[in-house]
């Protein structure tokens, strides 16, 4: 009986030992499962975040590629209007005149360099619809194609309180898909506060908004020095020939400050000023455009020099070619954007057009 | 007890073997995936280089600085021979590299030759048959692809039209 009791006690002790071991095993298993589960959870979360980052980057790159393709396409054809819908993106344009570089950057994507494209746009856009329009920039001979970028959240307000023909002309000539309105009273401006970018333009002689608004004043065919507006030349010039533009800063007491005054030449140049939101960006793009102008001018000069060598001496064709070369082409060398140059470039371009027609009528090789 | 210890050792060995096999399979998978990816990248790179050459070849006849204009209207697939010569002189001017630098952004790593094929031009200073207007001059061991585009070439001084070709060779490094 005593033996049986002892045996039962022994068995119970052994069972208790095994049971303790089982409890420790189960606890270790749970700790192991928790650690492994946590590691796996972290791993899955990191994959999800990596995928999200990758998808964002891909969307940015894809949007940048779409914009890039559209911009480069515009370089081949002038006066074309296009729209592109992209996922809501922040687009930034950077122009550096010192290094002659221009880039655009979409959030989450690397900056895309646009080495030859001349683009006028607000420097920062937050949009899912980009509107692109282009115009040829020709100064007698073709130089480049200017591209203008806007959004459906941009508005051009043409201030016209005295039935200005310039205001009506520019209103009619902008593409219908680009939002623009003619206004005659400053109180009307507040109705457009919901737009991201509002550009107010006005003309010399037809009134401008009060000084507490930011606006751009256009003075066709004139220059402004120390607040005095004077004609650049004695020629009768139209709105799209050349002129002065003043980017008036909000509240500025010096509306004609030299820093905010710049110049335009041709219709495409004027649109460039209208689509730019500050004078620095406009001047930077025009500086790049004039560098391209110099390359194209040097090619025309080179071609005329080669033609001179093969044309009969004293022939009408050779005399006309030589005159064009000496009087216009060489005179247009290395222009910078200033009042004198815009008028002389305009005058020379008109002479070039006339001489080109004359050469063609005389069955001579044309200038361009 | 001894049996249980043996069984535990066998289980530990099995687990270790499974872990090692899984790691080996993972390594093989990663190596294979890497090779496939590298091969895909090479294919994409080659395709992109070939597309770049096609893009350049299509762009050249559309450049206003090379195109023929008559009465202010440009002619399709037509090059003005004196514009070709002028571009050749300006791009290859050793004293002023600004024109080369400007066109480098368009023509990139390529060599562009304009060939007058028919009728054969006679002798004279501007009567060459081949003019290489642009050459990025990358060493010739690089792989190239060649595209040719037929064009009309007008000599407005001699009032002649030639049939010719634009040859575009794209240089790119073998990966």
Q: How far apart are the first and last CA of chain A?
A: 127
Q: What is the pLDDT of residue A25?
A: 65
Q: What is the pLDDT of residue A16?
A: 57
Residue B109 forms part of a structural domain: yes
Domains of chain A by residue range? 62-283, 288-361
Taking a C-beta distance cutoff of 8 angstroms, is the pair A220, A241 a contact?
A: yes
H or E segment to which residue A352 belongs = helix A339-361
Nearest beta carbon to residue A303 from set B82, B106, B158:
B82
Residue A350 forms contact with B (CB below 8 Å): no
Give chain A positions within 8 Å (CB) of B98: 294-295
Rounded CA-CA distance A238/A173 in Å is 14
- Provide CB contacts within 8 A for B173, sequence distance 6+: B142, B143
Q: What is the pLDDT of residue A86?
A: 80
Average pLDDT of the residues in A63-75: 76
- A28-50 pLDDT, tens digit each: 678 888 888 899 999 999 999 99
Q: What is the pLDDT of residue A275?
A: 96
What is the crossing angle of helices A316-324 and A339-361, to 10°? Answer: 170
Average pLDDT of the residues in A274-295: 94
Residue A76 forms contact with B (CB below 8 Å): yes
Choose among A202, A205, A227: nearest CA to A213. A202
Residue B90 forms contact with A (CB below 8 Å): yes
Give chain A positions within 8 Å (CB) of B99: 295, 298-299
Rounded CA-CA distance A61/A69 in Å is 12
Average pLDDT of the residues in A247-273: 82
Residue B106 forms part of a structural domain: yes
- Say yes or no for a CB contact (<8 Å) between B71 and A360: yes
Q: What is the pLDDT of residue A226?
A: 45
Taking a C-beta distance cutoff of 8 angstroms, is the pair A254, A361 a contact?
A: no
Residue B65 forms contact with A (CB below 8 Å): yes
Nearest beta carbon to residue B126 from set A294, A298, A310:
A310
Residue B89 forms contact with A (CB below 8 Å): yes
Average pLDDT of the residues in A281-307: 94
Q: By mean pLDDT, which of A234-238, A273-277, A337-341, A351-355 is the weakest?
A: A234-238
Q: Distance from A109 to chain B by nearest Cα, in Å?
A: 20
Average pLDDT of the residues in B64-80: 89
Q: What percent of chain A has pLDDT over 90?
A: 45
Q: How many CB atoms lie within 10 A of CB B98?
A: 14
Residue A307 forms contact with B (CB below 8 Å): yes
Chain A residue at shortest CA distance from B64:
A142
Residue B122 forms part of a structural domain: yes
pLDDT at A26 over 80: no
What one-character DSSP code corresponds to residue A328? I
Domain count, chain B: 1
Rounded CA-CA distance A317/A308 in Å is 9
Q: By mean pLDDT, which of A58-67, A271-280, A282-291, A314-323 is the weakest?
A: A58-67
Residue B3 forms contact with A (CB below 8 Å): no
Nearest beta carbon to residue A365 from set B59, B82, B99:
B82
Taking a C-beta distance cutoff of 8 angstroms, is the pair A293, A143 a contact?
A: yes
Rounded CA-CA distance A287/A263 in Å is 11
- Return the higher-pLDDT residue of A226 and A184: A184
Residue B6 forms part of a structural domain: no
Q: How many CB atoms lie within 10 A of CB A291?
A: 15
Q: What is the pLDDT of residue A227?
A: 46
Residue B22 forms contact with A (CB below 8 Å): no
Average pLDDT of the residues in A160-188: 89
Q: Is B89 left (phi over 0), alpha (psi -120 to 50) or beta?
A: alpha
Query: What is the token pair recorded at B163?
Result: 């049939």
Strands B130-135 and A215-220: unpaired
How much is the pTM? 0.82
Chain B residue at shortest CA distance from A100:
B102
Taking a C-beta distance cutoff of 8 angstroms, is the pair A145, A138 a contact?
A: no
Query: What is the token pair recorded at B136?
Result: 């990025």
- B119-147 pLDDT, tens digit each: 877 666 667 788 999 998 776 667 778 89
- Say yes or no for a CB contact (<8 Å) between B65 and A299: yes
- Say yes or no for a CB contact (<8 Å) between A299 and B83: yes
Choose among A300, A366, A285, A356: nearest CA to A332. A300
- Say yes or no for a CB contact (<8 Å) between B65 and A302: no
Query: What is the token pair recorded at A315?
Result: 């022939």
User: pLDDT class for A244, splitting at 50, 70, 90?
Assistant: very high
Rounded CA-CA distance A109/B88 in Å is 38
Q: By mean pLDDT, which of A42-46, A177-181, A257-261, B166-170 is the weakest?
A: A257-261
Residue B8 forms part of a structural domain: no
What one-character DSSP code corresponds to residue A241? T
Q: Distance from B99 to chain A by nearest Cα, in Å?
A: 6
Give chain B positions within 8 Å (CB) of A142: 64-65
H or E segment to which residue A165 belongs = helix A165-173
Give chain B positions within 8 Å (CB) of A76: 59, 62
pLDDT at A251 over 80: no
Q: What is the pLDDT of residue A339?
A: 86
Taking a C-beta distance cutoff of 8 angstroms, is the pair A86, A63 a contact?
A: yes
Chain A residue at shortest CA distance from B107:
A116
- Say yes or no for a CB contact (<8 Å) between B65 and A296: yes
Q: Is A163 left (phi over 0), alpha (psi -120 to 50) or beta?
A: left
User: pLDDT class for A336, splitting at 50, 70, 90?
Assistant: confident
Choose among A298, A321, A367: nearest CA to B87. A298
Sheet holding A112-113, edge to edge: A112-113, A101-106, A81-96, A124-139, A141-151, A118-120
Choose among A302, A307, A310, A326: nearest CA to A366. A307
Q: What is the pLDDT of residue A222?
A: 67
Chain A residue at shortest CA distance from B83:
A303
Nearest beta carbon to residue A366 from set B64, B69, B96:
B69
- Say yes or no for a CB contact (<8 Å) between B105 and A296: no
Give chain A positions within 8 Å (CB) of B64: 141-142, 368
Taking a C-beta distance cutoff of 8 angstroms, is the pair B106, B57 a contact?
A: no
Place of tokens 């891909």: A58
Residue A142 forms contact with B (CB below 8 Å): yes
Query: From the candidates B8, B55, B82, B101, which should be mutated to test the interface with A, based on the most A CB atoms within 10 A?
Result: B82
Choose among A296, A297, A286, A216: nearest CA to A249. A216
* Most confident segment among A4-8, A135-139, A206-210, B35-39: A135-139
Average pLDDT of the residues in A227-252: 73
Q: How many CB atoms lie within 10 A of CB A344?
A: 19
Rounded CA-CA distance B62/B76 in Å is 8
Residue A298 forms contact with B (CB below 8 Å): yes
Taking a C-beta distance cutoff of 8 angstroms, is the pair A166, A144 a contact?
A: no
User: pLDDT class for A23, splitting at 50, 70, 90?
Assistant: low
User: What value of ipTM does the predicted structure carry?
Assistant: 0.81
- Return the higher-pLDDT residue of A183 and B3: A183
Residue B86 forms contact with A (CB below 8 Å): yes
Taking a C-beta distance cutoff of 8 angstroms, is the pair A275, A255 a contact?
A: no
SS3 B24: helix
- Return the higher-pLDDT residue of B60 and A204: B60
User: pLDDT class for B151, splitting at 50, 70, 90?
Assistant: very high
Tell me which residue range forms the domain holding B137: 42-172
Strands A197-203 and A81-96: unpaired
Residue A146 forms contact with B (CB below 8 Å): no
Taking a C-beta distance cutoff of 8 angstroms, is the pair B83, A303 a contact?
A: yes
Q: Is B123 left (phi over 0), alpha (psi -120 to 50) or beta?
A: beta
For chain B, what's the residue count? 175
């Amino acid at each position: 009986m005593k033996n049986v009791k002892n045996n039962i006690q022994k068995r119970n002790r052994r069972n208790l030992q095994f049971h303790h071991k089982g409890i420790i095993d189960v606890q270790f298993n749970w700790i192991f499962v928790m650690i492994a589960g946590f590691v796996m959870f972290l791993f899955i979360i990191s994959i999800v975040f990596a995928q999200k980052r990758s998808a964002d980057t891909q969307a940015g790159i894809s949007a940048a590629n779409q914009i890039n393709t559209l911009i480069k396409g515009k370089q081949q054809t002038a006066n074309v209007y296009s729209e592109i819908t992209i996922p809501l993106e922040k687009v930034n344009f950077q122009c550096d005149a010192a290094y002659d570089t221009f880039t655009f950057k979409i959030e989450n994507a690397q900056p895309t360099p646009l080495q030859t494209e001349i683009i006028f746009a607000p420097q920062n856009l937050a949009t899912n619809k980009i509107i692109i329009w282009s115009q040829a920039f020709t100064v007698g001979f073709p130089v480049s194609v200017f591209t203008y970028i806007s959004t459906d959240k941009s508005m051009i307000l043409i201030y016209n309180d005295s039935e200005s023909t310039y205001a009506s002309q520019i209103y009619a000539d902008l593409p219908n898909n680009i939002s623009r309105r003619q206004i005659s009273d400053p109180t009307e401006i507040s109705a457009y506060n919901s737009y991201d970018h509002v550009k107010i333009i006005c003309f010399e002689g037809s009134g401008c908004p009060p000084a507490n608004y930011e606006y751009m004043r256009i003075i066709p065919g004139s220059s402004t020095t120390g607040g005095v507006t004077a004609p650049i030349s004695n020629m009768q010039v139209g709105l799209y020939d050349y002129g002065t533009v003043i980017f008036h800063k909000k509240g500025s007491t010096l509306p004609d400050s030299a820093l905010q005054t710049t110049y335009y030449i041709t219709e495409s140049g004027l649109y460039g000023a209208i689509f730019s939101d500050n004078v620095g960006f406009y001047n930077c793009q025009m500086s790049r455009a004039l560098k391209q102008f110099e390359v194209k001018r040097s090619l025309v000069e080179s071609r005329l020099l080669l033609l001179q060598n093969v044309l009969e001496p004293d022939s009408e064709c050779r005399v006309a070619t030589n005159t064009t070369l000496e009087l216009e082409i060489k005179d247009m060398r290395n222009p910078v954007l200033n009042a004198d140059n815009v008028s002389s470039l305009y005058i020379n371009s008109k002479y070039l057009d006339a001489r080109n027609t004359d050469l063609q009528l005389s069955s001579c090789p044309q200038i361009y | 007890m001894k049996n249980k210890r043996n069984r535990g050792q066998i289980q530990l060995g099995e687990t270790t073997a499974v872990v090692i096999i899984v790691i080996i399979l993972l390594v093989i998978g990663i190596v294979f995936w890497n090779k496939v990816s590298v091969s895909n990248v090479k294919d994409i790179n080659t395709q992109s280089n070939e597309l770049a050459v096609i893009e350049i070849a299509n762009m050249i006849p559309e450049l206003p600085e090379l195109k023929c204009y008559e009465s202010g209207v440009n002619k399709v697939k037509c090059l003005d021979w004196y514009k070709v010569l002028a571009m050749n002189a300006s791009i290859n001017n050793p004293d002023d590299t600004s024109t080369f630098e400007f066109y480098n952004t368009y023509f990139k790593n390529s060599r562009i030759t304009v060939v007058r094929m028919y009728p054969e031009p006679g002798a004279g200073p501007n009567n060459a048959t081949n003019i290489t207007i642009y050459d990025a001059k990358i060493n010739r061991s690089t792989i190239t692809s060649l595209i040719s585009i037929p064009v009309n070439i007008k000599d407005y001084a001699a009032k002649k039209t030639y049939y010719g070709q634009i040859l575009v060779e794209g240089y790119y490094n073998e990966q």
